[in-house]
Amino acid sequence: MGHTVSEPNRTSTLSRRAGMSSGQPIGRLMALALKHPNLVSLAAGFVDNDTLPCETTAAALRRLADQPELLRKALQYDMTAGSGILRANIAEWNYRRFPAGRPDPERMIVTAGSNQFLHLVAEALLDPGDIVLAAAPTYFVFMGTLKGVDARIVGVSSDEFGMSIDALQEQLQRIAAAGDAHRVKLIYTVTDFDNPAGSTLSLERREQLLEVVRRWRAEQGPIHLLSDCAYQELRYEGEDLPPLLALADDASEFVIEAGTFSKSYSPGIRVGWGVVPESLAPTLLEMKSNIDFGSPHFAQVLMNDVLTSGEIDSHLPVIRAGYRVKLDAMLDALDAELGETPDVVWHKPAGGLYVWLTLPEHIDASEGSPLWRCAMEQGVLYVPGYYCYPTEGEPIALNTIRLSFGVQNPAGIRLGIERLAAAIRQVAQT
């Protein structure tokens, strides 16, 4: 009674869900890079290795070792939502420039990187067949998560200013006309210097996006807007734009925000966080509690020291300056190598770790294509843009490439672009 009897003739011990977790392509690309040590990898989205904050972290650990009571606490479980002190400090620090949006720490959850938070959101909101709209291209790891919960992902045309709001409205109308309006649950945006396209949602589009969601909620039903702010601190020029939560009083009712220290300090410490509407907080906490009772408390105490000692604020200008040099090296090399090649296009991102390259339409850059093979022969690895496209909505552009400038030094970046350009020229001639 109440339980469905499992099919007697099953052929696998794996769950249906496990079957849907098709590995991430980036894992395969990284294995390739390891197998071919002479390959210049412009694929991995890792942060710069040389500026990882080793000394700062060692000092924070020593301070912790010198405070036996704090250390004892750090070695104990804490709340599922994460350390209350850390949540309050993150709210304060993260909204230092836009205090109007500062969230109540009661609506925040500390997670093991923001990926865990994104995963929790997907699990909490999506049933199989539910619809998520996202820019095309978008963050492929989150697409993997969405596929894992059997959601439909609808791609929305985007440019250097992020998702086109007209295109978003068109997609929403198309979905409503097909009778699927009730399936729409989430709009996902990587708000600043996104992965993969390096685009930043303009202020005008931020306001329009809030309005589209507000209207949909009034006319069609509850949906949420998920703003992924992973790269927010990595701005190399221009002024910070207000986060969605700071733009309207009612935003806290439907905006979910994901944040992380992975890019601003260290991905290895695995401290990220999320801000959710009050109505969602208890559910997400229960789900998180089922997973791990809360993220590693030790890492949270460490990050709290890094925040409150001001070390993160001294670290940020150092990494921003380093990335700026790398970004310039990549853009200069692209100009020198491909500036004259017809129909090869890229934009200058104002921050982040990625440059998005669009090639002439007839050049397929996907894994195994002639360009891919030629680039491997030349000795350069890239992420085919193809992986970053949802399978519905905006068509997949096979002629696109994501280039990362985070890990390589400027000489490596130049060499990688020279090799890639040679491959592109070779394939364009055939």
* Interface characters, 310-349, with ligand PMP (x: CB under 6 A): ----------------------------------------
Secondary structure letter of residue 229 according to DSSP: -
Provide the phi-psi class of 62: left if phi over 0, else alpha when psi is between -120 and 50, else beta: alpha
Q: How far is the CB of 270 from ligand PMP (least distance, A)?
A: 7
Neighbours of 62 (CB within 10 A): 9
Q: CB–CB of 197/354 below 8 Å?
A: yes
Of residues 115, 164, 199, 252, which one binds ligand PMP by CB under 6 A? 115
Number of residues that bind ligand PMP (CB under 6 A): 13
Report the C-alpha gap between 417 and 430 in whole angstroms: 20
Neighbours of 12 (CB within 10 A): 8
Enter the tokens of residue 305.
Answer: 């020291």
Residues of span 34-73 touching ligand PMP by CB under 6 A? 45
Kindly provide the residue ranges of all beta strands, DSSP E only, lying in 170-287, ordered along the sequence: 184-190, 224-228, 255-260, 272-275
* Interface characters, 143-182, with ligand PMP (x: CB under 6 A): ----------------------------------------
Q: Which is nearer to ligand PMP, 139 or 356 (CB)?
A: 139
Report the C-alpha gap between 394 and 145 in whole angstroms: 20
Q: Which is nearer to ligand PMP, 139 or 323 (CB)?
A: 139
When asked if residue 420 is in the footprint of ligand PMP (CB under 6 A), the reply is no
Q: Which is nearer to ligand PMP, 190 or 338 (CB)?
A: 190
Q: Where are the alpha helices (DSSP H) in 152-228?
A: 165-177, 203-219
The closest of 239, 323, 307 to 271, measured between CA atoms, is 307
Question: Which of these segments, 1-9, 51-59, 259-267, 306-314, binds ligand PMP (CB under 6 A)?
Answer: 259-267
Q: 20: number of CA atoms within 13 Å, CB side?
A: 14
Q: Which is nearer to ligand PMP, 56 or 195 (CB)?
A: 195
When asked if residue 262 is in the footprint of ligand PMP (CB under 6 A), the reply is yes
Largest Cα–Cα distance of the chain, in whole Å? 71
Instruction: Give the residue carrying structure tokens 């294995």.
Output: 31
Enter the tokens of residue 229.
Answer: 């702010």
Q: How far is the CB of 119 from ligand PMP (least distance, A)?
A: 9
Q: How far is the CB of 219 from ligand PMP (least distance, A)?
A: 30
Question: Which of these segments, 34-42, 55-63, 260-268, 277-285, binds ligand PMP (CB under 6 A)?
Answer: 260-268
Q: How far is the CB of 120 from ligand PMP (least distance, A)?
A: 12
Q: Which single residue brings its beta carbon nearest to ligand PMP?
A: 113
Q: Which is nearer to ligand PMP, 216 or 231 (CB)?
A: 231
Q: How far is the CB of 114 from ligand PMP (least distance, A)?
A: 4
Give how far the C-alpha of residue 205 lies from the chain's centroid of Cα atoms, to the nearest Å. 19
When asked if residue 113 is in the footprint of ligand PMP (CB under 6 A), the reply is yes
Report the C-alpha gap between 221 and 223 in whole angstroms: 7
Report the C-alpha gap between 47 and 419 in whole angstroms: 22
Torsion of CA 183, 162, 155, 174, to 10 degrees: 60
Of residues 109, 167, 190, 363, which one binds ligand PMP by CB under 6 A? 190
Of residues 105, 155, 272, 393, which one binds ligand PMP by CB under 6 A? 272
> Angle 54-65/311-338 helices, nearest 10 degrees?
160
When asked if residue 195 is in the footprint of ligand PMP (CB under 6 A), the reply is yes
When asked if residue 260 is in the footprint of ligand PMP (CB under 6 A), the reply is yes
Q: How far is the CB of 360 from ligand PMP (least distance, A)?
A: 28
Q: How far is the CB of 307 from ligand PMP (least distance, A)?
A: 16
Of residues 103, 148, 243, 267, which one binds ligand PMP by CB under 6 A? 267
Of residues 228, 257, 305, 337, which one binds ligand PMP by CB under 6 A? 228
The helix (run of H) or strand (run of E) holding residue 58 is: helix 54-65
- 186 bridge partner residues: 132, 224
Instruction: Give the residue carrying structure tokens 């890094």.
Output: 306
Site residues, ligand PMP (CB under 6 A): 45, 113-115, 139, 190, 195, 228, 230, 260, 262, 267, 272
